[in-house]
Structure 1
């Protein structure tokens, strides 16, 4: 089997760490949309061979307490992935670049993927300080051919 690239897309809303543009992360159930991308996996009768690899990196800073940041990825408004990261504040580590990967399997057609973050710990504060990047690679397994 071989893998064929069908589509690729990336968003980079913030390229650098910058305290001057820090944005406070809302507490659950509210969330902040960080980035959105659109991918086309093409029409395929056998979606078992399709997958989308998604990678997100978000620069965050702990301000008060130990925040519990919940990062989510949505496909067309439906959650398909989440991960949580604890973020410490003053007196310890404060700045983090959180990176994660998700695989969305058996998909066809065009989809919008959205990356969000929210703080699940009450009485804490964390900020998005950058960078932010979100990318997706759509692939399909194909029969190998001998050349």
Structure 2
């Protein structure tokens, strides 16, 4: 069955490779749907496409440790870093957060799913990471993306 995944990924080799980042961006809502609700093979490929495309589009999955260390040394100040639990409607919630971040010139927000929430929401870190990065792509966000969970 041909899906949008075959348009954005080359799956001929031992591991997939990104064929066209533009196809990922143009079809991100369908790709994130497959990353969450597809069969296991579709989920894996869709998540790969998202993770491969995000840094090329400027949304870089990052550790917040360096920022916290710089803050502790007094090198940065004057802002807070909210941690937002994105347990329900994670894609829509993350898109809204990226829109808010861009409209307020904010860039330090932690997208979080607590271990306890993973159980009752039936979401795992691999799914949340893909969903958050897909939301960043959808909103045209460029910068570090801090995911915790």
The answer, yes or no, to whether TM exceeds 0.5 is no
Highest RCO, 1 vs 2 (Cα 8 Å, sep ≥ 6): 1
- Higher share of residues assigned helix: 2
